[in-house]
Structure 1
Amino acid sequence: MSGYWYIFREHAADYGPIREHDALRGDFFVDGTTFDQVVDLYEFDRRLRLIVLDGIERVEVALRMRLGYVLGETGAFAHLDPAALEPSFTGFDEHRPIESRSHWLGSEHVKWLSRVRAEEDRSREDFVAHFKARYGLPLPIWVVTELLTFGSLVTLVRGTKRLQKNSIAELFGVFDADCDGDGAALVSWIANLAYVRNICAHHGRLWNRNMVEQLGRLDGVPDLAHAAGPAPKSRIYSSLAVLAFLTAQLDPASTWRRQAFELVTVDFRKLGLPDSHLGCPKGWAAEALWSPSYVPPADPLSKEQRDTLRHFECMSTAEVGLVVDTSDVPKRRASAVRYLRSRDELIGLRVGGTYRFPSFQLDVDGGQVHPVVRRINVVLKANARPWEAAGWWITANPGIGGAMPVALVRSPDASLIAAAEIVDSTGMRTTAGAFLS
């Protein structure tokens, strides 16, 4: 119990308090201290651990599902494939696959795989036994994610590629300033939660624990910016704030935030200790995050827009400018891109404060917008209706046997796209060929 009674000792006279909650203590207790106060503090910490474990469990269950979904899109056994994961995790170099094999053998990926195999061999879960009996090993990613410890789960998320991390972050409602999923933020957050979970699982003292695994990238989320300071991050408060944000994203009707709020504002306050011991910044209780009426921020893009973006590799204005204009002047190249967009010849999707240009439109070798794409974009009114125009390119088209027009742009017989149906801005239905002659 020494971790709980230490706070009730007198400040060491020779040193004086360094900070209110971090002062050096002497050997004598403050006058009037009772053993019941120490027990009450322990009981608070026990309840704090339980509520934190409850919040982490909700995040963990969602993470298993979302990780399995995102990696499963790459392939059923993407977790086994070094080429499907981050090179820093696997040591794999796709340009030197044979030579990099030796690096892979000593990588974190191989160490992680050995733990996965141990979990597969040890598991007695019915669904695992069923899969082994019917299909044998290895297990697909959506089964493996159900077996992993939370620590191994976090390791795999860290080992995914940047776009995969961002996709997982999108599903948790964690976005950066460019409206992309902020995978780097999510990785930092779940690493901290894994650390906190380990403390709770081993009945460790949590209430004034100095956090070794601290949270990062909180200031990019307005509702968490108040928790980004050194004091909140060094104690449990920032972890509580992240859990409040994530549980609200997963279930806006969740009562977890209110339970955590009341535990601190009611139960902890009864102990007579300042909430700065928990890392709570001044004014924290008035933050929108803790309001009963709090509504978590929505995806800055609509579902249709997000789905559209997932179909394309995109280029920035600067990257497109290097293709369509040979000038050495960046402003002139940017002007050339704006000109093409203004003439409906080039689809530019506005995301946040910038434009993204689906790369299929560009004939890089020819230094131009692909002629077929340019003419069809004009019919689609690409400048006035960019998202609708982009949607046409990725929608199954009955005129070409249900294929997506985008798939034919670089095909050996691009003329097949002439049969694709187009509904112009007046509602008239025709074929692309009418505009390609």
Structure 2
Amino acid sequence: MVNQKPHNIEEQIRLLRDKGMNFSDDEERKAKECFSRISYFRLKYYWRDLLDADTDGDFIEGTTFSDVIRRYDFDHQLRLILFDAIEIIEVALRSKVINHMSQAAGNGLWYLDSSLFENSDYHEDFVYDLKYEFGRSTEPFAKEYIDSHPNWDEESFDGDNPDAWRIIEVATFGTLSKMCKNLKSQLPQRSAIANDFGLYSAKDLTGWLEAISLMRNIVAHHSRLWNRTFGKKVTNPRGLRGKWLNSPLTENQKNRPYGFIVAMLYLCNAVCPGNKIKNKILDLISANQNIPYQRLGFIGNWKDDPIWR
């Protein structure tokens, strides 16, 4: 295999011109500025669907550099909105787990009790992940606890262990979602947490949380949502009490951004009524009418669905 040779910015623009992308003088200046802070490789995934399938990699006639940047900027703004949504869900999930589980157990050390979890090996991994995250946390309350408890041991269940309301506050979304999935199915608290999020099935909630954990990693690392297919799917819920869709998510929508977005919006509405996530998304779309939203899974009369009204 022979690796490609690097190209400078002028050469990158020339490559796009040769493939049929149009640049006005102003767009060329903008392209030079863009490629100085955004890599060619990163941007290419915003123009791939603008390539003409009937040619040898040339652009569809009339494609401009501005078409690409509009998509990139839209994607950036959408990620910022979704990060706000993830914050609402993540903070609420910590609170629901801490409150329901601690009150039922009558103490803050329930997370050490393997009898509350389906798989003991997963439970052990969860506790060590939790303690690892607590030990690495820069939060003052974590450092203060460790400094004042000489028997704290990150690699053992023994010794001093923080109460759930302290240690879970620094848990990653991924660790928290895995813990929820491993809670014993017959626990009333498991169902209570799902009900707080407007779902009748705890299995539906944990499936959504797994998907949102993937979305969180993508958004937090500034990765692309545009025209993306995810490795996980959002399932249609079996029962819910809030506004949802007129028709179930299609197979195509389940692993496209749209499926993830409506699931996140639903959970936000359940735990934080009056949030602005829906309006922010609608305003963003309204301000970018020329964006082909079907690339994100927004298809048909999606605006008529109850969740958007």
TM-score (norm 1): 0.55
Distance 1:143 1:55 in 2: 23
Q: Which runs of 5+ in 2 are unaligned?
A: 1-42, 153-159
Going from structure 1 to structure 2, the CA distance change for 1:133 and 1:224 (only over 3 Å counts) comes to: farther
Letter in 2 for 1:248: N
Within 5 Å, give how 1:57-136 maps onto structure 2: 57-72=87-102, 73-74=104-105, 75-86=107-118, 89-90=119-120, 107-132=121-146
User: 1:180-201 deviations in whole A, cap 9, x for unaligned?
Assistant: xx10010011111100111111
**Shift of residue 130, structure 1, vs aligned partner:** 4.0
Q: Which residue of the other structure, out of 237, 251, 259, is the alignment partner of 1:218?
A: 237
User: 1:93-148 deviations in whole A, cap 9, x for unaligned?
Assistant: xxxxxxxxxxxxxx122222222222222223222244445666211112121011
Distance 1:3 1:191 in 2: 25
**Shift of residue 154, structure 1, vs aligned partner:** 0.8
Contact kept? 1:231, 1:281, Cα under 8 Å: no
Structure 2 counterpart of 1:243: 264
User: 1:342-394 deviations in whole A, cap 9, x for unaligned?
Assistant: xxxxxxxxxxxxxxxxxxxxxxxxxxxxxxxxxxxxxxxxxxxxxxxxxxxxx
Distance 2:254 2:54 in 1: 26
Letter in 2 for 1:172: F
Distance 1:11 1:165 in 2: 49
RMSD: 1.9
More strand by share: 1
Structure 2 counterpart of 1:430: none
Q: Percent identity?
A: 28
Structure 1 counterpart of 2:23: none
TM-score (norm 2): 0.76
Going from structure 1 to structure 2, the CA distance change for 1:225 and 1:287 (only over 3 Å counts) comes to: closer
**Shift of residue 33, structure 1, vs aligned partner:** 0.9
Q: Which residue of the other structure, out of 46, 55, 67, is the alignment partner of 1:4?
A: 46
Distance 1:253 1:203 in 2: 27
Contact kept? 2:199, 2:237, Cα under 8 Å: no
Higher relative contact order structure (alpha carbons within 8 Å, sequence separation ≥ 6): 2
Letter in 1 for 2:296: L
User: 1:266-297 deviations in whole A, cap 9, x for unaligned?
Assistant: 244223x2x22111231110111111xxxxxx
Distance 2:77 2:130 in 1: 33
User: 1:15-49 deviations in whole A, cap 9, x for unaligned?
Assistant: xxxxxxxxxxx500011111111111111111111
Structure 1 counterpart of 2:308: 290
Letter in 2 for 1:9: L
**Shift of residue 239, structure 1, vs aligned partner:** 1.2
Letter in 2 for 1:110: E
| Secondary structure in 1 matching 2:45 | helix
Contact kept? 1:172, 1:249, Cα under 8 Å: yes
1:205 equivalent to 2:189? Answer no
Contact kept? 2:268, 2:275, Cα under 8 Å: yes
Distance 1:48 1:276 in 2: 15
Structure 2 counterpart of 1:32: 62
Q: Which runs of 5+ in 1 are unaligned?
A: 14-25, 91-106, 176-181, 292-437
Contact kept? 1:218, 1:228, Cα under 8 Å: no
4+ residue segments displaced more than 6 Å: none
- The size of the alignment, in residue pairs, is 252
